[in-house]
Amino acid sequence: MPAISAPFPSGPWFEELVARATADTGAIERLGIAEFRFGMEIVLPDGTRPLFGLVLDGYDITAVGPMDEGTFAPELVFSGQLDAWTEMIRWIEAHGPADSAHSLNGLSIAGIPFEARSSDAMGSDKFYRFMGTLQAVFDAAGSESPVPVGTV
Amino acid sequence: MSLGLDLSYLERSARGEFDLGWLRDTDTEWGVRAVPSKTGLTMRDIFIGSYGEVPEHAPLRTMAPRGSDVAPDVPDMGYTINDKSEVWSDNVLDLYEEAVSRQWSATRDIPWGDLAPLDPDVEHAMCQLATVLSEVEMVAADFPAKWLWRINHDFVEAKMFLCTQVMDEARHTEVFRKRALANGGGLGKATAVVERFLQLILDADSYDEGSALMHLLGEGIVLSLFRAGAALAPSPVEQQIFRLCMQDEARHVAYGTMHLRYRLERDPSMAEDFHAYLDKGEEIMAMIFTTPEIVEPTAILAAGSVEAARDLGAAAGDVLRLQIVGDYLKRCDHAGLDRRGRLHLPDAIVQGVPGAMAGAAA
């Protein structure tokens, strides 16, 4: 599976990621419904912090951004330096679905290199509730469609 | 007890003399046409009109569906939980739909065929952790099951959600038992401290007490263990197990948090009761952090071997401790219960958790 051609980070990159992840609608439906506004903050070397978003709405997944955090109103923001984002994505492109060390969960559990911040407990608990769906989206950077529940 | 058998009805109906009282004299809201939303016809879609009105106090104690025309001679089922605030949460309809939609199978959805031999230390650690989790998960089925039949049927959506939790926990018990037996290991030790915590939940005098101890505290701890398990998984098999369990467990915690919030919003005077429940629970929580059968397998999974865990294990333990206590305090805050001033946890347990040190037990 070739790498996404749009530059990272950019709106087109996230849109292509979501298009790949949702190409198999049956796979997405097997992951189950989700309701979540997931913010992704990329800390660039110049200190700017563009924010992109994934909106999980039932079985629909939409990429948005870059946009202002106040406008997007994420329930949780997953934030890290550009290098950390790039390394995670390159690993998935090279190896396929993330192993535990390169997963959203594994990379944020200690607060480094990614911080998962939310204003209340519901935001972080939703991060845990929909982890499979979120990871499936990112795993699509390295495979044609997510590896969902129910197909093994 | 007379069931009121009317054999003459057989004769009348055979002659075509139908009663039709159910057709002509039923006093319910008629003409309802619930509209499916884009994922299908959800519980929220049918939570409309009089059918979406949940009484603060159930007027009857029957199994009659809420909104039906209840015959005057229906028997009293003896429900003891008859106030909505005792079991309700604002997210319970959505959590039910989510639970049904995100079910999975421990037989089909785990790539068991990909299990590979592990370093013996790591296999032992995984099996010990699987033993603890297989042990603790079933209490989160036993507890709702113990209380379900006492909950008034007017709060059926909450009962339905608790039914999903029973199924979730059966699956968790199953998947960890399977993992322990699937890769050349076996079950490990069951400890008294874990059993004491489970007993505290099961023997709770009220649903309030048990829910606070289980949904908020106990499942919050296990959720962090699942998260750590997914992050430390030695293979995609364990990663998938822990990730799927984490999703389920977080639903239960979300219910517990929002239920406590709902309860306290309607009766703030209950805060002291919940503080007392959690005082007890936190004492057991502290003991869990000093239980080798939980702490050491986690450290070994993080480090890769017993020897490496001696050097790195403390750091892994710190990550887990900070997450458990930090997330717990955030959930209490969201529920409207400020535990920061009266945590019953030793300083060594709360050290490093933002805002947790003041008032912690020495």
pLDDT-based confidence at residue B196 (cuts at 50, 70, 90): confident
Neighbours of B46 (CB within 10 A): 15
| Contact assignment for A128 to B223 by CB distance below 8 Å | yes
Best to test chain B binding among A62, A119, A131, A135 (most B CBs inside 10 Å): A131
Flag whether pLDDT at A150 surpasses 80. Answer: no
Flag whether pLDDT at B63 surpasses 90. Answer: yes
pLDDT-based confidence at residue A147 (cuts at 50, 70, 90): low
Flag whether pLDDT at A125 surpasses 60. Answer: yes
* CB contact B110 to A (< 8 Å): yes
| Contact assignment for B334 to A121 by CB distance below 8 Å | yes
pLDDT of residue B362: 41
Long-range contacts of B188-192 (CB under 8 A, 24+ apart): B188/B124, B188/B127, B188/B128, B188/B130, B188/B131, B188/B132, B188/B293, B189/B128, B189/B131, B189/B293, B190/B131, B190/B132, B190/B135, B191/B132, B191/B291, B191/B293
Q: Which letter does DSSP use for residue B188 in this model?
A: -
- What is the span of the domain harbouring residue A22? 11-139
Question: 3-state SS of B95-148?
Answer: HHHHHHHCCCCCCCCCCHHHCCCCCHHHHHHHHHHHHHHHHHHCHHHHHHHHHH
Q: How far is Cα B289 from Cα B294, in angstroms, rounded to an integer?
A: 8
| pTM, 2 dp | 0.94
Shortest distance, CA A12 to any CA of chain B (angstroms): 26
Domain count, chain A: 1
* CB contact B107 to A (< 8 Å): no
Q: Which member of B108, B227, B250 has the closest CB to residue A150?
A: B108
**Which tens digits make up the pLDDT trace of B120-162?**
999 999 999 999 999 999 999 999 999 999 999 999 999 999 9
* CB contact B83 to A (< 8 Å): no
| Contact assignment for A129 to B98 by CB distance below 8 Å | yes
Amino acid at B49: G
| Over residues B69-75, mean pLDDT | 94
Q: Is residue A144 part of a domain?
A: no
| Contact assignment for B334 to A59 by CB distance below 8 Å | no
Q: Which letter does DSSP use for residue B16 in this model?
A: T
**Pairing mode, strands A76-81 and A34-43:** parallel
Q: Is residue A83 part of a domain?
A: yes
Nearest Cα to Cα of residue B56 among B265, B273, B337 = B265
What average pLDDT does chain B have?
93
Q: Is residue A1 part of a domain?
A: no
pLDDT of residue B290: 87
Is A60 or B287 the better-scoring residue by pLDDT? Answer: A60
pLDDT of residue B319: 86
The CATH number of residue A81's host domain is 3.30.1050.10
pLDDT of residue B317: 81
pLDDT of residue B316: 78
Q: How far is Cα A86 from Cα A93, in angstroms, rounded to an integer?
A: 10
Q: How far is Cα A12 from Cα B274, in angstroms, rounded to an integer?
A: 49
**Which tens digits make up the pLDDT trace of A59-82?**
999 999 999 999 999 999 999 999
pLDDT of residue B1: 58
Best to test chain A binding among B217, B246, B301 (most A CBs inside 10 Å): B246
| Over residues A27-33, mean pLDDT | 94
pLDDT-based confidence at residue B44 (cuts at 50, 70, 90): very high
pLDDT of residue B313: 65
Interface of A with B (CB under 8 A): 31-35, 58-60, 97, 99-101, 103, 105-106, 109-110, 120-122, 124-126, 128-132, 135, 149-150, 152
pLDDT-based confidence at residue B357 (cuts at 50, 70, 90): low
CATH 3.40.640.10, domain B118-350, yes or no: no
pLDDT-based confidence at residue B87 (cuts at 50, 70, 90): very high
CA–centroid distance for B331 within its chain: 14
Q: Which member of B98, B104, B258 has the closest CB to residue A149?
A: B104
Contacts of A128 in chain B (CB under 8 A): 223, 227, 246-247, 249-250
Integer angstrom CA distances of residue B187 from A35, B134, B179, B220, B251? 37, 10, 9, 24, 28
Q: How far is Cα B254 from Cα B277, in angstroms, rounded to an integer?
A: 19
Q: How does DSSP assign A28-94, residue by residue?
A: HHHH--EEEEEEEEEE-TTS---EEEEEEEETEEEEE-S--HHHH--SEEEEEEHHHHHHHHHHHHH
Contacts of A97 in chain B (CB under 8 A): 236
| Contact assignment for B228 to A109 by CB distance below 8 Å | yes
Contacts of B110 in chain A (CB under 8 A): 152
Best to test chain B binding among A61, A125, A126, A133 (most B CBs inside 10 Å): A125
Q: How far is Cα A12 from Cα A20, in angstroms, rounded to an integer?
A: 12
| Over residues B264-280, mean pLDDT | 96
| Over residues B47-56, mean pLDDT | 97
* CB contact B36 to A (< 8 Å): no
pLDDT of residue A152: 37
| Over residues B37-41, mean pLDDT | 96
* CB contact B168 to A (< 8 Å): no
Q: Is residue A94 part of a domain?
A: yes
